[in-house]
Amino acid sequence: MKLKFALVALGALVGLRCTAQLTVLVGPVKVSGQKAVVSLALKNDLRSKVESARAVVFLLDERGKIAGQATQWVLGGSKTNGLMPGATNAFNFVVPISKPLLTTNLAAKVTFSRVVLEGNKLADISKDVRVTPSR
């Protein structure tokens, strides 16, 4: 009984810690011609609106070498009006590929360089953003 309670309490603590974040789920890389598309599913579990967010996507081959890179605003600007607390959004990140690919077995590494919250407050990316790569 005590073990069950401890597991429930631990789950609640983990749940509380994870709820105050911008959660990003990275989809698999899809290559089409001279571009790759990486889908991002964003969920705002922060207490305030995310006005804008800028992400960088690195395409890595099976040896870990960079095959492509791009930076884009995934929230805010003319595409969306931000992301309210509790809301979700999908974004298809297009990465141009300048050199011919030797493989289509690519992985995407996604990082955020800037997240602006309501009132022009900057988020602490290391604490407020959680990126989960595709499997």
Per-residue confidence (pLDDT) for residue 20, from 0 to 100 = 74
Q: Which range marks the domain in which residue 35 is found?
A: 21-132
Residue 112, in any domain of the structure: yes
Residue 46, in any domain of the structure: yes
Residue 85, in any domain of the structure: yes
Q: Per-residue pLDDT tens for 48-74?
A: 999 999 999 999 988 888 889 999 999
Residue 8, in any domain of the structure: no
Residue 93, in any domain of the structure: yes
Residues 6+ apart with CB under 8 A from 50: 22, 44, 75, 76, 82, 83, 115, 116, 117, 118, 123
CATH classification of the domain holding 109: 2.60.40.680
Q: Per-residue pLDDT tens for 98-119?
A: 777 777 788 999 999 999 999 9
Residue with the larger pLDDT of the pair 18 and 55? 55
Residue 7, in any domain of the structure: no
Give the chain's domain count. 1
Q: Quote the pTM value.
A: 0.79
Q: What is the dihedral of CA 99, 101, 104, 109, to 10 degrees?
A: -40
